Amino acid sequence: MRYFIELSYRGTAYHGWQTQANGVSVQITLEAALSQRLGKPIYIMGSGRTDAGVHAKQQFAHFDVEEPLNLTESLIYSINCMLPEDIAIHAIFPVSDKTHARFSAVSRYYQYHITRQKDAFQGTLTYHFRPHLDIDRMNEACKLLLQHTNFQSFSKARANVTHFNCQLDFAYWDYTNADCLTFHIKANRFLWGMVRTIVGTMLEIGQARMSLGQFEEIILARDRTVAGRAAPANGLYLMEVGYPAQVFAQRA
């Protein structure tokens, strides 16, 4: 039997999603709680990796067990009680044994949050950035971004992938409120470090330190060394993972 887990987490305390040799990850923390509650070793596969310090409003993972689970509210409640307060399971539901948390996903949607004012309660959840940013110029850069599919210039140099093509659905900046600027981007897939590097490069554009022509040259160069530095992890959120409708057919 294969089951999907829908969860969210605050990534501040973790060395990313994936199990690490040098630190605590979200994956290993979740596996430990599931294994304890179900009384057998449980190994999970996530829809994708998030880097150290990155958050997820919605993440999915799957795991396999030999016998069907008794899916009750008390089961989820008990597992949540075993988890630290910065990881929360929202649902567990059966899926086809051919459904895969990573490979069945058809889209991912990320947001990056920037605040102009320092906030004592949001410091690990947003990027405090004081310089003035021209949001119109940054949105012009987004239009250029949408005209391309190869984003090698925004991928970490040692990314182990067969290609650097991503099909973007949208990319734009807006103001959540007077002090909070948010970048929205959705695509079928993302490269390692891609969103944070795009944000870091666009901050150069927003400060008029890079022209739109230079931005397009960076895209066409297909060379990570010519792009801007990556924005800090604390402002990045995985907001939504999309799947075909049939994946949720057995969800209560």
Question: Which residue in 51, 64, 119, 136 is the catalytic one?
Answer: 51
Confirm whether 64 is a catalytic residue: no
- Single-letter residue type at 7: L
Cβ pair 247, 64 in contact under 8 A: no
Sign of the torsion angle spanned by Cα atoms 129, 134, 139, 142: negative
| Residue of 60, 229, 47, 245 lying closest to 153 (CA atoms) | 229
Q: Of 102, 88, 84, 96, which Cα lies nearest the Cα of 44? A: 102
Q: Could you please report the per-residue DSSP string of 165-200?
A: B--EEEEEEEEEETTEEEEEEEES---TTHHHHHHH
Q: Distance of CA 241 to CAs 83, 160, 173, 214, Å?
A: 22, 22, 20, 32
Ligand-binding site membership of 127 (annotated): no
Binding residues: 110
Q: Which residues are catalytic?
A: 51
Binding residues for substrate: 110
